[in-house]
Amino acid sequence: MKFKNIPKQVFLLGLISFFTDFASEMLYPVTPLFLTVTLGASMAVVGVIEGVAEVTAGLLKGYFGNLSDKLQKRSIFVVLGYGLSSIVKPLPGFFPKISTVVLSRVTDRIGKGIRTAPRDAILAANSKGNTGAIFGFHRGMDTLGAVVGPLTAIALLQLAHFEYRSIYLFAIIPSIFAIVITFMIKDPKTKKSNNNKLSYAYFWNVAPKKYKQLLFLVIIFSLVNSSDVFLILKSKNVLASDSLSIGGYVFFNIVYAIASYPIGILADKYGKKNIFVAGIFVFAFVYFGFSYNTNSLIVWLLFAFYGIYAASNEGVIKAWVSDLIPHEMLGSAIGLLTMSSSLAMMLGSMTAGILWDSFGSSFPFLVSGIISTLIGISFLRLKN
């Protein structure tokens, strides 16, 4: 596939995300197994940790998105955010305790909170009427790291005889590459403007109605879109194997990486709303499937469809927002969106863990499937 009209800065940000997700996604599928198998944590504890991690990142995405608008500086937050995440990743390998996992996971998300909205503003500033393709390319590179990372984790688990701590120690290596490349990122050239007094109250007053409607529905959807760790653990129930459950997650990311750029192009051509809504209905199908399925082969099919959903979600929604909001306020717009959805995902992850412990593994997936179907129908009512 040829990547047309991809600027150098977008390509560099793609490389940074590749190496960062290489490191992060080595740990992401291993962490719930490390917590439950090695440290004896319950599913509710897993849900709380994931929820707290996501809300921490979400709150900071809002703050630093707004701050980058005020300063009209983006690259410094990219350097700080990726650097902080890289430092804390190996800590559970040295100190295998639940408290250390919490510290590492939350601090890693702090780094994500610092960098995300400013980075996305740089991506949007480098687009020329092709925001779908730009964000799709970036998501594809990011997710390619999420393929290589778990594959490396599987290989290391085999070599280390399923000693989870070794994965944490190895994860620092790709992080070094990410840090080096961050220093090559430059701030986009923008018109001088007085944004020093820009607040979220001001932004909300001037934000278009379409953005506010979009934000509301995304928040509701995020409440039933819990952490992917539950998909990994649910697939383990069917596949009865750590390696196969991680392999299913890898397969999902392969589909996600391959589909992101083409789906971004389709979003530019046929409309972001149409592609995003189609993805929500795919999400509902996948969650219904995980709720009822007991066949190991169907697990792989569901992970494939989940990759299609993911490719039509985060990158497309950010491209959609980038089309609605001027660049000088884009950090605030994306920051508010990601902050709000992360708060909702925190509640969703906590609720999913409690429902799993109380009513069995199928129930939270069934609830999510039903509600997301209704949300998809509501999105169809939005005007383009």
- Report yes or no: 157 and 243 within 8 Å, Cβ to Cβ: yes
Among candidate residues 330, 354, 286, the one with its CA nearest the CA of residue 118: 330
What residue type is 98 in one-letter code? Answer: I
The one-letter amino acid code at 313 reads N
How far apart CA 258 and CA 308 sit, in angstroms, is 9
Residue type, 192: K
pLDDT grade, residue 310 (50/70/90)?
A: very high
- Global model pTM greater than 0.85: no
First to last CA, the chain: 30
At 286 the pLDDT is: 94
pLDDT above 80: residue 50: no
Residue corresponding to tokens 């909170």: 113
Cα–Cα dist 263/133, whole Å: 8
List the domain boundaries for the chain.
8-187+198-380
Angle at 226 between CA 234 and CA 137, to 5 degrees: 100
Contacts 24+ apart (CB under 8 A), 123-127: 123/10, 123/13, 123/318, 123/322, 124/318, 124/319, 124/322, 124/327, 124/330, 125/188, 125/190, 125/327, 125/330, 126/7, 126/9, 126/10, 126/188, 127/322
Does residue 277 register a pLDDT over 70? yes
The reported pLDDT for the residue numbered 201 is 81
pLDDT on residue 81: 93
CATH of domain 8-187+198-380: 1.20.1250.20
Taking each helix axis from N to C end, the angle separating 98-125 and 131-159, rounded to the nearest 10 degrees, works out to 150
Tell me the pLDDT tens digit for each residue of 62-85. Answer: 889 889 888 888 899 999 999 998
Q: What average pLDDT does range 8-30 have in this prediction? A: 88
pLDDT at 156: 82
pLDDT digits (tens, 9 = 90+) for 228-262: 878 888 888 888 777 788 788 888 889 999 999 99
pLDDT above 90 (res 338): no
Q: What percent of the chain has pLDDT over 90?
A: 31
Task: Decide: 272 and 324 in contact? Cβ < 8 Å.
Answer: no
For 92-117, b/e burial (b = at least 16 CB within 10 A) is bbeeeebebbbebbbbbbbbbbbbbb
Residue 384: what pLDDT?
59
201-228 pLDDT tens trace: 888 888 888 899 899 999 999 988 877 8
Higher model confidence: residue 12 or residue 34? 12
Q: Residue 51: which pLDDT band, with cuts at 50, 70 and 90?
A: low
48 in Cβ contact with 32 (< 8 Å): no
Residue 171 has pLDDT above 60, yes or no: yes
Residue 161 has pLDDT above 70, yes or no: no
What is the pLDDT confidence band of residue 194, given thresholds at 50, 70 and 90?
Answer: low
Tens of pLDDT, residue by residue over 354-379, are 888 888 888 989 999 999 999 999 88
